[in-house]
Amino acid sequence: MALPQQLRDESDFDQLPDNVPVSASIADVEEKKGFIDYFLFVIEVKTKGGSKYLIYRRYREFFNLHQILESKYSPEDPDRPGPNTCVLPSLPGKVFVGNKREIAESRIPELNTYVKRLLSLPIWFLLDESLRMFFYQTDQDTQHQPRALRRLRPPTRKVKTVKPKMELFSSPRAEAMFDFRGNGKAELNFKKGEVIFLLRRVNADWLEGTVNNQTGIFPESFVKVIKALPDSDSDGEGGAHLYSCLHCFLLTPAGVEARDVCVQEDLSIQPTHKDLLSRMRNVFQQQDIALNYRDPEGDLIRILDDEDVLLMIREGRRQQGTVNRPVNQFPWELIVTVASDLSVYNTEA
């Protein structure tokens, strides 16, 4: 006896590859200016494996995909579909006259319905090569700089600040893949490459986090999650902060570059010289560097091993009462110089 249809579908879904797109939402439209001005629809795609990414498609790409799918799968009689056919959702028609932005904006609800229904068709349909290529994130997609994604924003701007869960060596965190500038005080600002410590999940698409002594919400599509929030961390209260900010200066002949770098260690834990060196090489994208700190006289003291790190921390704590720093910032500052020459930078920062 055959299994019920629902059980067969669930079994088929489990056998799908993780990179198959299973849902999509149109987040915004973006204007592209050139010889011909046109609008792109910004689409957030979610795969069966749970990953999310953004793609950018023109209306004509929707139209071309629909024609290909119609030629392959539309039954001759919609009331009597065959085993390898299905009734496709309706695609909004072409518009030849009118303001391009207004046309693109008006199409968003209809195209949203279209892609959702398209990806709700039978499991075997999701494996179609043309469909998968349409939702595939190309190299050109990854080069786009995403913007506000206003239709993925939470319905409320109210931020409920909570403390991260206590863990011994690390906290939930993510790396920014793009710059993001929030709209209003409730939304976080950050730059590509910065590490954001996660506080809670606002909804399916937005997170709340902290970076550079700021707390706010931001779209998950802009970051790569390094350590995810626990499933129970949606609205719960956590323990004490376990992240710290290390104030770093890169001294070069061209000038001084300052960074507040979030680090994993608790204030009571001494990082190793090797870990600090590796982290600074990654932060400043420089390999030929040396680590230093300033003594009370303002001279640079080079750090060569773990014992020197300990001396730096002791000196920093000795000066902690005279320097006003945020509570989650290390009580010392790190000076990064070119390893081949220390003397030319031995001046006040």
Number of other CB atoms surrounding residue 77 within 10 Å: 8
Look-up: residue for tokens 């091993």?
A: 305
* Res 53 pLDDT > 80: yes
Render pLDDT for 56-91 as a digit per residue (tens, 0 to 9): 999 999 999 999 999 998 887 777 777 788 888 888
* Res 116 pLDDT > 80: yes
Q: What gap in Å lies between CA 267 and CA 287, rounded to an integer?
A: 27
Q: Which range, 89-93, 115-119, 238-242, 344-348, is most confident?
A: 115-119
Core vs surface per residue 286-308: b (16+ CB within 10 A) or e:
eeebbbbbbeeeeebbebeeeeb
Which pLDDT belongs to residue 162? Answer: 47
Angle formed by the axes of helices 100-118 and 59-73, nearest 10°: 30
* Res 49 pLDDT > 70: yes
Which pLDDT belongs to residue 245? Answer: 61
Q: Which residues pair with 301 in a beta bridge?
A: 293
Which pLDDT belongs to residue 169? Answer: 42
Which pLDDT belongs to residue 267? Answer: 44
DSSP state of 80: S
Which pLDDT belongs to residue 69? Answer: 93
What six digits make up the tokens of 68? Answer: 């290909």
pLDDT bin (cut points 50, 70, 90) of residue 307 is confident
* Res 242 pLDDT > 50: no
Which pLDDT belongs to residue 208? Answer: 86
Q: What gap in Å lies between CA 64 and CA 116, rounded to an integer?
A: 18
Which pLDDT belongs to residue 108? Answer: 85
- For the ranges 115-124, 182-191, 271-280, 325-334, which has the lowest average pLDDT? 325-334
Q: Model pTM?
A: 0.45
Q: Which amino acid, one-letter code, is at 114? A: Y
In this structure, are residues 285 and 269 in contact, taking their beta carbons and an 8 Å threshold?
Answer: no
Order across the sheet with 206-211: list the strands. Answer: 214-219, 206-211, 195-201, 173-176, 223-227
Say how many Å lie between the first and final Cα of the chain, rounded.
Answer: 80
DSSP string of 182-245, one letter each residue: -SSTTB--B-TT-EEEEEEE-SSSEEEEEETTEEEEEEGGGEEEEEPPPTT-SS----S---EE
Which pLDDT belongs to residue 11? Answer: 62
